[in-house]
Structures are given as structure tokens and as C-alpha cells.
Copies of this chain bind each other. A is one copy, B any other.
Amino acid sequence: MQFEAFSASGLAAYLSGIPAVREQLGGDTDLQVVEVGDGNLNYVYFVSSVRDPRHSVVVKQAPPFLRLVGEGWPLPRERMEREVEALRRFGALCPQHVPSVFHADSGKYLMVMQRLMSHRVLRQGLTEGIVYPRLADHISTFLARTLFHGSDLYLSAAEKKEAVRANINTELCRITEDLVFTFPFEDAASNVYSPALPAGAIDRLRTHEPLRRAAADMKWAFMNRAETLVHGDLHTGSVMANESETYVIDPEFAFYGPFGFDTGAFVANLLLAYYARDWHDRLKGRDPREYQRWLLGQVAQVWNGFAEKFAGLWRMHERKAGRAFIGGPADTRAAEAYREDFMRQLFADTLGFAGCKMIRRIVGMAKVAEITSIADPAVRALVELRCLRLAEALLVRRHELASIEAVTALAAAVLAQDIEA
């Protein structure tokens, strides 16, 4: 099917014809359509009742090509379907943290979903130094509930395998395989290095053996371990939050992959914000340390909250079934010992994936605003070096680091080190 971008009036007319959407718009047909974009990939519109703008929905249209480039860079037509399915699946498991989908039309590459009126993209909020008191609790709940219920720990083996089959997402996985796990470690054309980043730091990514081995391990895990339906792109730009609510959006990269890819992505982005903090606060004459402490606290609380909730769901499920994943009754010492091994491995995976995600945001094509907005090249390079240094330690020492508190202590130690930019 040919892709066609909507005109404002065309979109309004189309939406008015869909009862579920019309209801969200208060039955009104006099609609305001504002294109807000979401960057490189998609068309995004806010559509609101002119009479009462509180009646509003978001329309996302994902053309089968890279919007930035046009039809010359085709993208899989399935990506909107993957996103809709993942939103529905995650929404069923965690309705309080996932926007509702009111309508999806794969022929038009389009979906209509809940407008989050009073929420902002978390990355922006973190850059401005906003404290979200419920963030760690919400995100750890989202992670535990979605990751647990997609896995063999919960689903029957047949349901799980069917879900693996249904959620193969080749093209978007390829983007991650290239941009996160391969290009940063070679002389790839799409890499972008900040002007003051020392050549030695770039060279180290290509030659330091322990780092290369660890990153390759994570690449293999990403490509081969079909553990659960992961969001696949859970950075702080995929979260919308306010003081009391947190929503996870944009799961178009969803596929059956390793648990740690989502936990690692979120932790990585908190750590990027942590190192970028100095600049943003000092620019405003503020002491960055308090917010930095809060960010590291979030890292610890997200992991600890996730681990406790995930293990709790698992224990509860085994009790209800009267049977442990490892065989035999629930609640045996062996079942608990295996659970501890499992969580330790998931922790190591989290650190390894966090390391890769941090590195790709420094040297890869897709960067993060809290770092690119640092105007002083030397300061930016210093922040980037800190990110790279911590990322390397997370990757190489992922099996040694015994707790998330050891990780946050390490992050703080890297901040305190003298580094020559």
C-alpha cells in the first residue's frame, strides 16, 4: 500500500469517522490538528477539540521509510504493527504506565492513542533538574511486570514460542545491532565524534581487548537470547512523566530479547544525565551535587525495585502453580538458589547493556540532548570521557560488581577522578 501523509483536514475527517476516537474527542468534529513530529522516523500529531482542548488524542503515523531521508531509505511496514502490539501487551500488564491505544490502522500506518496532557518527556525534565518522586517506583514496576510476563517463567512454553514468532522485528533489531553493538567499535561512516574528544578514547573503543570482548558478548546476547518481549528502546526519551505519573511510550523496537536490554537502557540514560549534570547546573549557578545524588539514587532504586518486584512475581507465580520453573515444588531451597543465580546474571546483563548504550550515545549517530547541548567543547568532551570510562567498567566488570550500590559508587568515583580531556 502506498503511504500518504494526511492533510490536517483529511486527518480530522478520518478521525471523526472512528467511533472510539470520536468519543475521546468529546464527540466534537471541529478539530485542531498540530503536527509535533518526533524527529527522524515518524509523523506525530496532536488532535484536539476546538471547543474543549482537554479532549485530545495523539496520532502517530509511521511511514514505511525514514522520514528524514524519504522513500530512498525504506523501513519495514511492520514497525507500526510491532508498536501497537507491544503497547497493547504492555498496557494489559501495566495499564497505569502505558498510554491507551484507541485505534490502529495498519493500512494507513497509523495509530491513535491517549494524549498525555500534563506529562513531559523525561529526558527534558532530567535536563532541567526536575525531581520525580515516583519515577523509580513506576519504572521498576513497568520493567518487572512486562519483562516477567513475557518470559518462560510465566507463559507456557507454547505461548512463549508463539510470542517469539509473532514479535520478530528484523529491521529495527538490525538498527540496534549496527548502531549499538557494532559501529561504535569500528571506523564506521555513521559515527560522530565530538570535536574535543581525544583520539585515544576513540582508539580505545576499537582496540581495548577486554572491552571489545565484553561488547561482543552483549551483541551475541542481544541477537540470540529470546527471553521476553522487551521494549527495545527504553531510554529517557521514551518515558513521559509528571510528579505523580509515569508513562512508557514508543515501543516500536519491541522484540523477544534479553531482559537486561531494557533495564540496562534505562540505567544507562540515568547515568548519562548524571555526568551531564555539572554543566547544566553550573550554567545556572546551582550546585549540581544534590541532583546528582538524586540521579544515582534513581539508578539504585530502579534496579533494586525491579529486582525485588520481578523476583516477587516469580515466587508468587510458582506458589500459585505449586511448581517451580526448575522442577519440583515451589519454595524449595534449590528454586530460591536458582532465582538468585538468575537475578545475578540479569544484573550483569543490565550493566553490560548499559555500557553499550552509553558508548553508542557518545560516539554513535544518535546522541542525547543533555550532552550535545553542552556548549563548551572541552566540558562536553570531559563529560563524554567520564561516560566512556564508566561504560567500559560496567562492561568489563559486569560479573564482578556485586550490587547496584557498587555501581553507583563507581559512577561517583569516575566523576571525582581527574581526567585529561
Contacts and interface: CB of A to CB of B under 8 A. Distances in A.
Interface of A: 152, 157-158, 160-162, 164-165, 168, 170-171, 173-174, 177, 181-188, 206-207, 209, 212-213, 215-217, 219-220, 223-227, 325-329, 333-334, 337-338, 341-342
Contacts of A152: 220, 223-224
A353 to B, nearest CB: 16
Contact of A183 (B171, B207, B325, B327): B327
Given A216-B325, A216-B326, 12 more contacts: A152-B223, A158-B171, A158-B174, A160-B223, A164-B164, A165-B168, A213-B326, A213-B338, A213-B341, A216-B338, A219-B325, A225-B225
Say what secondary structure dominates the interface of chain A: helix
A162 B174 CA distance: 13
A375 B328 CA distance: 32
Contacts of A337: 209, 212-213
Contacts of A182: 326-327
A148 to B, nearest CB: 14
Contact of A334 (B162, B213, B333): B213
Contact of A157 (B177, B185, B226, B334): B177
A185 B212 CA distance: 38
A209 B161 contact: no
A152 to B, nearest CB: 5
B170 A338 contact: no
Contacts of A209: 333-334, 337
Contacts of A164: 164, 168, 226
Given A157-B173, A183-B327, A219-B326, A212 B338 contact: yes
A157 B227 CA distance: 18
Given A168-B161, A219-B326, A328-B185, A334 B224 contact: no
B157 A170 contact: yes
A187 B327 CA distance: 9
Contact of A165 (B165, B219, B326, B338): B165
A159 to B, nearest CB: 9
A343 to B, nearest CB: 12
20 contacts: A157-B170, A157-B174, A158-B170, A158-B171, A158-B174, A161-B170, A164-B164, A165-B165, A165-B168, A181-B327, A182-B326, A185-B327, A186-B329, A209-B333, A212-B326, A212-B334, A213-B326, A213-B337, A219-B325, A220-B342
A333 to B, nearest CB: 6
